[in-house]
Amino acid sequence: MEETPTRLRSKPSWLINKAAARGHRLINDAMTAIGGRAYHFAILAALDEFGPDSQVRIGQRCGIDQSDMHTMLSELTSQGHVARAPDPSDRRRNLITMTPSGKRRLTELDATLSAVQADLLRALPSTERDRLAALLVRVLG
C-alpha cells in the first residue's frame, strides 16, 4: 500500500473498497474450507431471526437477487439445512423453514465468520472494532 498514491490512500471510499475486497477473499477461503458459502450464512441467519418465510422475502432481507435464490435454496435443501413446503396461507408460494441441521450449520458458519472478522480486524482493539462497525452502519444509514 506504500506505493499507492497518498491522495488515493486517504480516500475513505478507496479504503472501504480495499478492506471489503480483503474481507471477501478471507470469507470465501474460510467458507470453502468448510464446504460453505457466505450466502448460506445470510439465509440461515434470516430464518433464525425472522422465522419461516417466502423465498422472495428472504432474498429481500439478505440483499440476494431473486434469480440466485432458487439455486441457493436448492443447495441448502439438498444439504438438509432448510425445508420447502407450501405456505398454508398462500398455496402459490413456498414457505422456507430452517431444520435442526440448519441451526447447527448456522452455528458453525457463524463461528467461522467471527474468526474471519477477528483476522480481518486484528490490528484494532475490540473497542475500535465496535466503533468501526457503528460508523459503517451510520454511513450505510
Tens digit of each residue's pLDDT (9 = 90 or more) over 39-94: 999 999 999 999 999 999 999 999 999 889 999 999 999 999 999 998 888 888 88
pTM over 0.85: yes
Phi, psi of 117 (to 5 degrees): -60, -45
Domain architecture of the chain: domains with CATH: 37-115 (1.10.10.10)
Q: What number of residues does the chain have? A: 141
Q: Which residue has the higher pLDDT, 15 or 87?
A: 15
Q: What average pLDDT does range 117-127 have in this prediction?
A: 95
